[in-house]
Amino acid sequence: MQLIIPDWPGLPSSVGAFATLRSGGFSHAPYDDGNGGGGLNLGTHVGDRLQDVERNRARLDMLLPASPVWLSQVHGHHVINADSFGGGAVVGVEADAAIATRAGVVCAIQTADCLPVLFADSNGGAVGAAHAGWRGLVGGVLQNTVARMRAAGAGPISAWLGAAIGPERFEVGADVLAAFAEAAEPGQARAQVQACFAPVADRPGKYLADIYQLARIALRQADVRHIHGGGLCTVSDRNFYSYRRDHLTGRMASLIWLK
The pLDDT tens digits along the chain (259 residues) read 899 999 999 999 999 999 999 999 999 999 999 999 999 999 999 999 999 999 999 999 999 999 999 999 999 999 999 999 876 667 668 999 999 999 999 999 999 999 999 999 999 999 999 999 999 999 999 999 999 999 999 999 999 999 999 999 999 999 999 999 999 877 767 889 999 999 999 899 999 999 999 999 999 999 999 999 998 999 999 999 999 999 999 999 999 999 9
d(CA 248, CA 243): 7
- Which domains are assigned to the chain? 3-166+222-258 (3.60.140.10), 171-209 (no CATH)
Contact 108, 129 (CB under 8 A): yes
Predicted local distance difference test score (pLDDT) of residue 239 = 97
Predicted local distance difference test score (pLDDT) of residue 184 = 86
Contact 130, 96 (CB under 8 A): yes
8 to 17, 187, 215, 217: CA distances (angstroms) = 10, 31, 17, 19
Alpha-carbon torsion angle 207, 210, 215, 217, nearest 10: -80
Predicted local distance difference test score (pLDDT) of residue 91 = 66
d(CA 100, CA 107): 7
pTM (predicted TM-score) = 0.96
Predicted local distance difference test score (pLDDT) of residue 89 = 66
d(CA 70, CA 194): 34
Q: Per the omega criterion (within 30 degrees of 0), is the bond before 167 cis?
A: no
Predicted local distance difference test score (pLDDT) of residue 171 = 97
Which positions ≥6 away from 97 have C-beta within 8 Å? Answer: 71, 77, 78, 79, 80, 109, 128, 129, 130, 131, 141, 144, 145, 148
Which positions ≥6 away from 55 have C-beta within 8 Å? Answer: 25, 26
